[in-house]
Amino acid sequence: MWANCGRIQGRSSFETTIPEKSASFDERTFVKSLPDWLLHLENLHPKGQAGIELGLDRVSRVKAALQQRQDCPLIIVGGTNGKGSTCAYLEAIYSFAGFRVGCYTSPHLLDYNERIRVDRVPVDDELLCQAFARVEAARQSAGRVALTYFEFGTLAAWEVFAAAQVEVVILEVGLGGRLDAVNVYDADCAVVTGIALDHTEWLGLTRESIGFEKAGIYRAGKPAICADPEPPQSLLDHATAIGADLRLLGRDFGYFGDKTQWTFWARDTQRQGESALLRRGGLANPALRGACQLRNASAALAVIDVLKQQLPASMQAVRRGLIELELPGRFQVVPGRPTIMLDVAHNPQAVAGLADNLGNMGFFEKTIAVVGMLGDKDIAGALAALAGKIDLWLLAGLDVPRGAPAKVLAAVVEEGKLGGDVESFASPTEAFSCAAKRAGENDRILVFGSFYTVADVMRALKQPA
């Protein structure tokens, strides 16, 4: 099995090279700790940590200086929603299949290390700092390129995977696809989980324009998975134009099942008739909660199917990968009473899915929502999905770049006539503290919106009572 897998390699030696002192890099400061490095990343680009500047030129130049090359299977996962879940399924399945897996996702909830994992374990500070030092040395040798926070982290993730000699890499797109930093690498299989309106200021105002951007991760002659049930024509046209091996949900793969188990099916394009269908039946429902998870799991199994020659995975690995994983902040239910749910849903499609999940949970006397969102999101469109479902809105401001003030959220709830009482707070922590005091044991507290919101409440939950 291992003979079919190459290695990802970066520099011929993985020893850190420290460049000469300069205004942008001082080894006495930055080789000491991860917080120092993260501060450096935040200050490196004029737009800071929250800065978004799409394009492949900057990251390509530093990648070349690092002499990174690609020698093992690479999977890139994009899409508006479901990227993180799909990556988690793939990471778990391939790990249980015996492969050494490198997985890069974003953003993180509590610690930056969560973004870069080897064998499902976040990279430790020392290895991450060594990778950052290699990227910084290459960045300076390439002309002090002003990398964004995400670009710097993407290159560092590859350095970590190279040093760990992983056998399969999974990269999650940060934003869009065509001009996202991960697209500087060539996917052996690329996945678009779905297309909805989000990040419209960068990707365009229609599903057609967004679909084109997301289809940019597809490659000629390589499997291109699309799990959107109604993909935009722009995605279909781009895949055809470049000669990608497009696999569509409902045509080339899909699923069916009930509340107890489900079946994945895929069409073998090399065969005809009934024998062309592959079925994986009797699968337990995924550990991740929510109606959308069968679609995300199907996207992952479609990848497993098309890469089975390079990365064979047994049914046992598939079954374990689907049920033996956790992904914090994705309709996560915290044990105890009152019921507490954490979800990073922050756009209309994701919150609509959240609303469906709430309806399938059974009866609760009262639902209290703790909400904080970024100001550049479609706040009105997202919250509208919860009209009439929330008894008390506890709205929180976010003291971060792009954070929406609580009064903006309050105006949306009131002007949209979404129902329920409304109160405003300076932070998610304060809002959640109020929710915990007001909720009875038969109530539920829903914490959702930005990753910052969920992360703040997760930290509060970890504090001793």
In order of their start, the domains of the chain are 2-323 (3.40.1190.10), 332-462 (3.90.190.20)
Q: CB of 343 within 8 A of CB of 354?
A: yes
Q: How far apart are CA 422 and CA 358, in angstroms?
A: 20
Q: What is the pLDDT of residue 353?
A: 86
Average pLDDT over residues 420-425: 95
3-state secondary structure of 241: helix
Q: How far apart are CA 150 and CA 55, in angstroms?
A: 12
Q: CB of 195 within 8 A of CB of 210?
A: yes
Average pLDDT over residues 206-221: 93
Q: What is the pLDDT of residue 153?
A: 96
Tokens found for residue 436: 């915990």
Query: What is the β-pairing status of strands 101-104 and 277-284?
Result: unpaired
In 360-450, alpha helices (H) = 379-384, 406-415, 428-438
Q: What is the pLDDT of residue 1?
A: 28
How many other C-beta atoms lie within 10 A of the C-beta of residue 19? 16
From the number of C-beta atoms within 10 Å of its C-beta (0-12, 13-18, 19+), residue 275 rates as exposed
From the number of C-beta atoms within 10 Å of its C-beta (0-12, 13-18, 19+), residue 223 rates as buried
Average pLDDT over residues 401-417: 92
- pLDDT of 462 higher than 90: no
Q: How far apart are CA 345 and CA 425, in angstroms?
A: 20
pLDDT interval class at 50 (50, 70, 90): low
pLDDT interval class at 46 (50, 70, 90): low
Q: What is the pLDDT of residue 27?
A: 47
pLDDT tens digits, residue range 65-122?
999 999 899 999 999 888 999 999 999 999 999 999 999 999 998 999 999 999 999 9
From the number of C-beta atoms within 10 Å of its C-beta (0-12, 13-18, 19+), residue 359 rates as exposed
Provide the whole-model pTM.
0.86
pLDDT tens digits, residue range 245-269?
999 999 999 999 877 889 999 987 6
The letter for the amino acid at 108 is H
Q: What is the pLDDT of residue 31?
A: 54
Closest of 382, 381, 367, 375 to residue 398, by C-alpha: 375
pLDDT interval class at 463 (50, 70, 90): confident
Dihedral angle, C-alpha 294, 107, 174, 142, nearest 10 °: -150
Q: What is the pLDDT of residue 47?
A: 62
